[in-house]
């Protein structure tokens, strides 16, 4: 990871809390590099506490660039907490606190001074339940763009391109001013993905994105994820092990807040090293 190294050498850069400053020198690697393995994010000894309860325990793992990393494990194992830590959504919870580091682009994003607003633009998130704003379809996408004061003509383009990217353009182009709530659950979820993509993030965090959807809608969202990983780094939490096996490149199995096993999906599912991983993926417990 050559570019990251350069950054880490520069200590002052390290100390800059404002991510905006770095944006000018932003290095956006071309999408053609998606075959190479490059670590985009590094979790170092990461712990998350809710008051005295340690929900995530001393986790070390990389999240590789332009790959899909799946987090699996039984309910309450801390996988959603871990995901929500990556874009600091846990800051919302007043009793939540972090230990350890998440290094992203040479910066520990858990530091207090990091501007979470800028961070969340780079690290988008899609939630378990589709949560479009109760506004027209188009406004769902323009909401954040207007906040960022993008010029009008640019906004129009982004609406179209992000809906196309989310494979929703054909279904919605004639009714962009209808309420987003008139869409089906699967369409709403793809709208939420489009809404996140409109900000041109580098990372997409998906928290059980298909668990509230029917099988056909789920399949569409899965196809979309496969398509998106060419351009984005994706971390997905899922309850569905078939899904993890189908769509992810790397899988992390968590249990009780511990990272039990992390590795390439194909290897982890066929030849797990840990007994508990084997038991879980073979359905002995859930």
Q: Which residues bind other proteins (CB under 8 A)?
A: 87, 89, 92, 94, 117-121, 124-125, 127, 129, 131-136, 139, 143-144, 147-148, 177-182, 192, 195-196, 199
DSSP helix/strand/coil, 20 = helix
- Choose between 143 and 231: whose C-beta lies nearer to other proteins: 143
- Choose between 9 and 148: whose C-beta lies nearer to other proteins: 148
- Choose between 67 and 121: whose C-beta lies nearer to other proteins: 121
CB 11, min distance to other proteins, A: 27
- Choose between 76 and 134: whose C-beta lies nearer to other proteins: 134
Q: How many CB atoms lie within 10 A of CB 86?
A: 22
How far is the CA of 191 from the CAs of 83, 86, 194, in angstroms?
Answer: 20, 22, 5
- Choose between 58 and 118: whose C-beta lies nearer to other proteins: 118
CB 2, min distance to other proteins, A: 28
Tokens of 278: 């084997």
- Choose between 61 and 194: whose C-beta lies nearer to other proteins: 194
With a CB cutoff of 8 Å and minimum separation 6, the contacts of 227 are 167
Cβ(217)–Cβ(142) under 8 Å? no
CB 135, min distance to other proteins, A: 6
Conformational region of residue 240, where left means phi above 0, alpha means psi within -120 to 50, and beta covers everything else? beta
Please give the Cα distance from 120 to 124 (Å, whole number).
Answer: 6
CB 282, min distance to other proteins, A: 34
Q: Which ranges in the chain belong to alpha helices (H)?
A: 2-9, 11-15, 20-23, 79-86, 116-122, 137-147, 152-165, 169-172, 185-197, 215-228, 241-247, 265-270, 275-281
Cβ(70)–Cβ(248) under 8 Å? yes
With a CB cutoff of 8 Å and minimum separation 6, the contacts of 166 are 190, 191, 193, 194, 197, 224
CB 143, min distance to other proteins, A: 7
CB 123, min distance to other proteins, A: 9
CB 5, min distance to other proteins, A: 27
- Choose between 4 and 196: whose C-beta lies nearer to other proteins: 196
Helix (H) or strand (E) holding 77: none
């Amino acid at each position: 990871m050559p570019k990251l190294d350069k950054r880490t050498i520069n200590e002052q850069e390290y100390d800059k809390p404002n991510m905006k400053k770095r944006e000018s020198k932003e290095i956006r690697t071309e999408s053609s590099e998606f075959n190479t393995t490059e670590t985009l994010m590094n979790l170092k000894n990461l712990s998350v506490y809710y008051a005295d309860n340690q929900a995530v325990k001393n986790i070390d793992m990389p999240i590789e660039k332009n790959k899909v990393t799946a987090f699996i494990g039984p309910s309450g194992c801390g996988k959603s907490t871990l995901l929500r830590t990556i874009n600091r959504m846990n800051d919302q919870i007043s009793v939540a606190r972090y230990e350890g580091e998440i290094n992203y682009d040479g910066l520990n994003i858990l530091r207090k001074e990091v501007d979470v607003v800028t961070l969340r633009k780079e690290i988008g998130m899609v939630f378990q339940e589709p949560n479009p704003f109760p506004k027209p379809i188009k406004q769902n996408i323009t909401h954040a763009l207007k906040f960022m004061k993008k010029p009008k003509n640019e906004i129009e383009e982004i609406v179209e391109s992000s809906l196309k990217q989310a494979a929703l353009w054909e279904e919605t182009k004639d009714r962009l001013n209808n309420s987003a709530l008139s869409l089906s659950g699967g369409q709403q979820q793809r709208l939420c993905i489009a809404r996140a993509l409109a900000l041109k993030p580098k990372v997409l965090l998906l928290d059980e994105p298909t668990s509230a959807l029917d099988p056909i809608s789920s399949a569409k969202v899965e196809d979309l994820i496969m398509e998106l990983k060419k351009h984005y780094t994706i971390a997905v939490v899922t309850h569905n092990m078939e899904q993890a096996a189908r769509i992810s490149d790397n899988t992390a199995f968590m249990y009780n807040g511990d990272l039990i096993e992390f590795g390439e999906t194909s290897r982890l599912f066929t030849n797990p090293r840990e007994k508990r991983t084997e038991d879980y993926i073979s359905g002995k417990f859930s």
